[in-house]
Amino acid sequence: MIVSLTDVKSGSKVRVARIKGGLGIRQRLNCLGIHSGDVMLLQKSGFMRGPVLVNIHGNQVALGRGIATKILVEVD
Amino acid sequence: MRITLVGQPNCGKSTIFNHVAGYKAITSNFPGKTVKYSISKMTFQGMTSDIVDLPGSYSMTSFDLAELEARKYLLREKIDVVINVIDASLLGRGLELTLQLLELNLPTVICLNMIDEAEAKGIIIDTDKLSRLLGVPIVTTIAHKGWGLNKLFETAFKVGQKSAKSESLNFSKDVEQVIKDLSEDIKKTDYTEKFNVPHRFLATKLLENDQDFIDEIKKKDTEFIKTVQGYQHQLEQCRDRSSDEVVSSERHHLSMQLYESVVKLSKPKKEIRNYLDSVLMHPVFGYISLVVIMYLFFNFVFYVGAIFEEPLLDFFYQFLPYAEETLGADSLLYHIVSGVVQGLAGGIAIVLPFLFPFLLGLAFLEDTGYLPRVAYLMDTFLHRIGLHGKAIIPLILGYGCTVPAVMATRILESERDRFITSVLTTMIPCAARITIIFGLVAFYLGPKAAIFVFVFNIIVVAIAGKILSNIMPEITPGMILEIPAYHVPSIKILLSKVWLRMKEFIVIAWPLLIIGSVVLSLLKHWNLEGFINQLISPVTLLLGLPVAVGVTLIFGVLRKELSMVMLVQALGVANISTVMSSTQIMTFTIFVLFYVPCVATIAVLIKEIGSKRTLFAIIFTFLIAIILATITRFVY
Ligand SMILES: Nc1nc2c(ncn2[C@@H]2O[C@H](COP(=O)(O)OP(=O)(O)OP(=O)(O)O)[C@@H](O)[C@H]2O)c(=O)[nH]1
Ligand SMILES: [Mg+2]
């Protein structure tokens, strides 16, 4: 099932399906090690429309709400 | 020879730089501290060289001004050796930058730093194998302990003398073929000379749609852009993805392959810090912890400072009656002597007792890695005033000194965010104004009143932010921020950092303080003080302050400390509460907190946001100061 990263529960493992939005945001996420096809762990889903926290290749990255909605992920 | 430290943010470049250059570049545990390159001379085993510390950059494509600075330096300056610093605990990601650096064909050494962190994560790296695969020497280090750094520089000098050039690694066949073809076309032009980069580097960057190169070429040569687009199209066809994604995922896969072939994973160590975030970043406990930490910090500064302020003041002021007796109260000499004594006293007794514990506490928070957690917690609130979480970092640094805080806005991606954040940082009480809050408000009106001032200040900054973002409505790009692992700060580095920041006070502010005090004494002696106070009386009268306070407001624009320290002198008493009521003390503090940034800040604002916007900032903050101080006069 493909959903946006903001719709996933904390603690779930997801695979990045696609990054919506322009070149800029995709490249910036790539730089932090987030590419389509990568598996990451959603450590904390946002609360009060706050940012989400993901663990990607053993590194924590905080993503603002606006960014997180643009990341489409596969959950099983 | 010129050795340049290059690497992703927060991998320890500045720590290595400081090891050979002396503590000159601020280091802390969050990405993006260094926003401007620094250069220093170094000698190593009798050899000399320049060493350059660059801002961190995730890749050779730049997204903020700090990364742009690093890229410009790498592409434009003459570099004899590149030391590519990699955080070994993030090797896989670090290699993506390395692959791009290798394409530059410069003599390169790889420094695998934070080996201790990698080990804690259970990452064991076969460095010999990695070195063979990449074709460059590798040295492992633990920079903050100095471990391995001799070997690193020994290797760097050797590589520099041999000037052995690095070679790029190859991607998959089909992609590599497109890069080769484009390279051939580039060879027919003069772009490699023009941009001073190897053709393969330029070819991959063009395929990646690198804005800087594309724009530069577009200006004159639309024909060539068409050629580039043709190749981009080819890539898109063979992978069914946009060409920039093809290149970046090739790089990603190559890095991952390298990573997997050299890394053995074992069980990570069990450590308390792995559990810290479940409290400190918790939706409820996170905010509670934030408040508790700030409260403890406040008390630490207040109690340490209060122990020293009074006895030190008494110590200095005991000399004045003695000087008055021997020199005569009206003599010029007495005025000069009392000016010097009061200037010295202000620095030692009022400023230092609070400045030292404050800077120590700030350095501690910076080095543990707590600040990015605050950015995470505050993101949702900053969104409501039209900014995003990263903006909290310059704002927090603003509590130290406004000048580096304004420069730290370079880590923000959009110009509008940088402008708004810059203006807001000038309203955050810097260490100088904090000493005013402690030395005046906490000292005379009690710690609760001081806490009120800090909280009130935050509310005002938030409202000002809201106003500014309504004037400039634009959606901020949103936060993407790495949250690094917690570190135990090294005492030596903490103290060096505190010393570096205090030095600024000691060599610049203190002499000014003494000169200012003497000038004020002379003004008093020649009865000119009254004239200046008269000029400023519209403000002082409006705020209901003693007219004698006027002159200190002028001095405060030079350095914010001056306005309080000289208050003592201007009023002619050691104990301010005898001549100013609590309301007046509060009104004065609120006014000084917000009115007009100091000269050093104005200078850096002009550089970062331009003179028109600086003028706006000055007027904006002055209006806020006047309005709030007038209100304080009547309600406090
Ligand atoms: N555990 C550990 N910590 C280190 C090591 N080297 C540096 N540090 C710490 O890591 C943090 C980041 O170091 P910096 O030197 O500021 O990093 P930088 O690469 O200059 O970072 P930017 O300027 O933001 O790009 C500091 O708190 C250092 O004390 C190391 O080998 N091991
Ligand atoms: Mg640095």
Q: What is the pLDDT of residues B412-454, one digit of tens each?
A: 988 999 999 999 999 999 988 998 899 889 989 999 999 999 9
Chain A residues closer than 8 Å to B63 by CB = 24, 27-28, 31
Crossing angle of helices B415-427 and B611-635, in 10° steps, is 40
In this structure, are residues B430 and B444 in contact, taking their beta carbons and an 8 Å threshold? no
Query: Alpha helices of B472-549 — where are they, by DSSP H?
Result: 491-504, 510-525, 529-543
Ligand 2 ion local residues (Cβ < 5 A): B 13-14, 34
Mean pLDDT of chain B: 92
Considering only CA atoms, which of A3, A17, A6, A21 is closest in space to residue A65?
A6
Rounded to whole angstroms, the Cα distance separating B115 from B360 reads 27
Residue B140 identity (one-letter amino acid): T
Ligand 1 probe mutation, B5, B24, B26, B27, most atoms within 8 A of CB: B27
CA distance linking residue B91 with residue B93, whole number of Å: 6
Closest Cβ opposite residue B480 in set A46, A48, A63: A63
Backbone angles phi, psi at B77, to 5 degrees: -90, 160
What's the complex ipTM? Answer: 0.95
Fold match flag (B2-162 vs B173-265): no
Ligand 1 touching residue B371 (CB < 6 A): no
Give the CATH number, domain containing residue A47: 2.30.30.90
d(C-alpha B629, C-alpha B615), whole Å: 21
B168-172: long-range contacts, CB 8 A cutoff, minimum separation 24: B168/B99, B168/B102, B168/B103, B168/B105, B168/B198, B168/B200, B168/B201, B169/B99, B169/B102, B169/B133, B169/B134, B169/B254, B171/B247, B171/B250, B171/B251, B171/B254, B172/B250
Q: What is the mean pLDDT of residues B514-524?
A: 86
Question: Which structural domain, as residue segments, surrounds residue A6?
Answer: 2-75
d(CA B278, CA B285) in angstroms, rounded, equals 9
**What pLDDT is stored for residue B538 in this prediction?**
93
Ligand nearest to the CA of B38: 2
* Interchain CB contact of B252 with A (< 8 Å): yes
DSSP-derived 3-state class of residue A58: coil
Q: What is the pLDDT of residue B402?
A: 93
Cβ–Cβ contacts within 10 Å for residue B498, how many? 20
Residue B264, pLDDT > 80, answer: yes
Q: How many CB atoms neighbour CB B557 within 10 A?
A: 17
Any A CB within 8 A of B479 CB = yes
Question: How does strand B2-7 pair with strand B38-44?
Answer: unpaired
A10 interface with B at CB cutoff 8 Å: no
Q: Is the CB of B200 under 6 A from ligand 1?
A: no
Within 10 angstroms of residue B514's Cβ, the number of other Cβ atoms is: 18
Both tokens assigned to B554:
């002028």
Facing A53 at nearest CB: one of B252, B376, B383? B376
Task: Name the least confident of B105-119, B195-209, B217-231, B562-576.
Answer: B562-576
Q: What is the pLDDT of residue A24?
A: 82
- Arithmetic mean of pLDDT, B496-513: 86
pLDDT digits (tens, 9 = 90+) for A24-67: 888 889 989 899 889 999 998 877 788 999 999 889 999 999 89
pLDDT digits (tens, 9 = 90+) for B196-211: 999 999 999 999 989 8
Vertex B372: Cα angle to B370 and B373 (nearest 5)? 65
Task: Please give the average per-residue pLDDT across B267-289, as a whole number.
Answer: 92
CATH class of the B173-265 domain in this structure: mainly alpha
Whether B296 shows a pLDDT value over 90: the answer reads: yes
pLDDT of residue B529: 87
Ligand 1 atom closest to the Cα of residue B57 is 25
Task: Give strand pairing partners of B42.
Answer: B49
User: Per-residue pLDDT tens for B24-55?
Assistant: 999 999 999 999 999 999 999 999 999 999 99
**How far is A14 from chain B, CA to nearest CA, in Å?**
18
B240 at interface of A, judged by CB pairs closer than 8 A:
no
pLDDT of the residue at B222: 87
Question: Bigger pLDDT: B477 or A39?
Answer: A39
pLDDT per position as a tens digit, B556-584: 888 888 888 788 888 888 788 889 999 99
Greatest mean pLDDT among B132-146, B264-278, B404-418 lies in B132-146
Query: Tell me, what amino acid is at B154?
Result: E
Local confidence band at B362 (pLDDT 50, 70, 90 cut-offs): very high
- Considering its fold, how many domains does chain A have in total? 1
Quickly state the pLDDT bin for B324 (edges 50, 70, 90).
confident
Indicate the pLDDT class of residue B241, thresholds 50, 70 and 90.
Answer: confident
**Which strands sit side by side in the sheet containing A13-19, from one edge to the other?**
A2-4, A71-74, A13-19, A39-44, A52-56, A59-63, B480-483
Residue B329 has pLDDT above 80, yes or no: no
Q: Which residue has the higher pLDDT, B514 or B544?
A: B544
Q: What is the pLDDT of residue A22?
A: 80
B584-606 pLDDT, tens digit per residue, is 999 999 999 999 998 889 999 99
Q: Under an 8 A CB cutoff, do B90 and A58 touch?
A: yes
Domain boundaries defined on chain B: 2-162, 173-265, 285-635
Ligand 1 pocket residue status of B496, Cβ below 6 Å: no
How do residues B333-358 score in pLDDT, each as one tens digit?
Answer: 888 888 888 888 888 887 888 889 99
Cα dihedral B557, B559, B565, B568 in deg (nearest 10) = -20
CATH code assigned to B2-162:
3.40.50.300
- pLDDT given for residue A41 in this prediction: 95
- Which residue from B93, B208, B380 is facing A57, i.e. has the nearest CB? B93
pLDDT at residue B504 in the model: 79
